[in-house]
Amino acid sequence: MPDFAIGVDMGGTNLRVAAVSSDGQMLQKINLSTNLSVRPDVVVDAMCEAIQRLMNQHRGGGTLLGAGFGIAGIIDLEAGVVRKSANVPSWCGYPVRDAIEKRLGTRIFLENDAKVHALGEQWLGAGRGSSEMALLTLGTGIGGAIVLDGKIFHGLHGMAGEFGHVTIEPEGVPCGCGNRGCAERYASATALVRMAREAIATGNAPELARAAGSEPEFSAKLIYELAMKGDEPARRIFHNFGRALGILLADIVNILNLKMYVIGGGVASAWDAFAPTMFEELRRRSIIYAASVPDEMQGDAEGAALNIDRTLQKTIITRAVLGSDAGLYGAAKLAMG
């Protein structure tokens, strides 16, 4: 039996715990209904109880290599403390590593949730076989990670890859980070709902207004469904979304010049609605992307006109494939070293 590690995904809304074998098999997965907004100690108790159960069940099979945690927010990796968490403010300043280590008595590893997503996709998903890639997760906001030589690139404060707060509109919508016009104000679930509400307020988006009125939770999914039915105001919202994401990606591609960029998170499932505009914008704004567009993205005649160099390795921009399990695989991988 192969050795195994525990992976924990503490996203903004839910808490999931899994046992993953060292050869990448999901052995068991537990979804905890614990509300993350209650006291951190209560959450950690419930989480550690579930982890203990998994450890006991799988211990006979192989050696436990450790437990890895993907946590939403900014983590001080040295101190093992959550410094900032927009989704779960009660965790700010909480010494999460000590609290967990005390209860479990095993080696534990912390990381930001988008960064463990990236590790998961790189290990077993869209980035498999690529030791260098960047990941963007489109959810409530935009998470990001850069993987170099198979490892997360942290930067000085563990904050490298904060793609969501790259400015794309100098005088744009204010952001919680203190800046204006951050990418996540235009290309996230929150941004979709804001743009829909603004469209409704003009009086020119009757279908959106009807959807917003009939559903208690007016969601990005409803806007997507309308866009796919051809509703013009909803389509325009995804056009703006794709444009914003294309501008952001163009900057990232120009700075990093990696082979692989993976787009994940819940809102990535609206790919059909935003990707055409995203690629158009990206080609227009990134000289590196335009010169290395994959063949299937570019007709031959157009390619010749743009002087595309066929000998250059292609830049790949693609959807994540592991869904929400990416975080569990990546967190477990973190503990495997």
- Judged by the rule CB under 5 A, the positions of this chain that interact with Zn ion are 165, 175, 177, 179, 182
Nearer to Zn ion, 78 or 171 (CB): 171
Rounded to a whole number of angstroms, the minimum distance from the CB of residue 69 to Zn ion is 25
Smallest distance, Zn ion to C-beta of residue 83, A: 16
Residue 322 DSSP label? S
**Neighbouring C-beta atoms of residue 307, cutoff 10 Å:** 8
Tell me how far, at minimum, the Cβ of 175 lies from Zn ion, in Å.
3
**176 three-state secondary structure:** coil
State CA 269 to chain mean position distance.
Answer: 12
* Least distance in angstroms from the C-beta of 221 to Zn ion: 24
Residue closer to Zn ion (CB basis): 182 or 328: 182
Cβ closest to Zn ion, residue 69 vs residue 186 = 186
Residue 195 · residue 169 · CB < 8 Å: no
Helices (H), the chain: 40-58, 96-104, 113-124, 189-201, 206-214, 220-228, 232-256, 271-285, 287-291, 300-305, 325-336
Measured in whole angstroms, how far is the alpha carbon of residue 58 from the centre of its chain?
29
Pick 186 or 329: Cβ nearer Zn ion? 186
Give the SS3 label for residue 131.
coil
CB 185, min distance to Zn ion, A: 7
Nearer to Zn ion, 120 or 181 (CB): 181
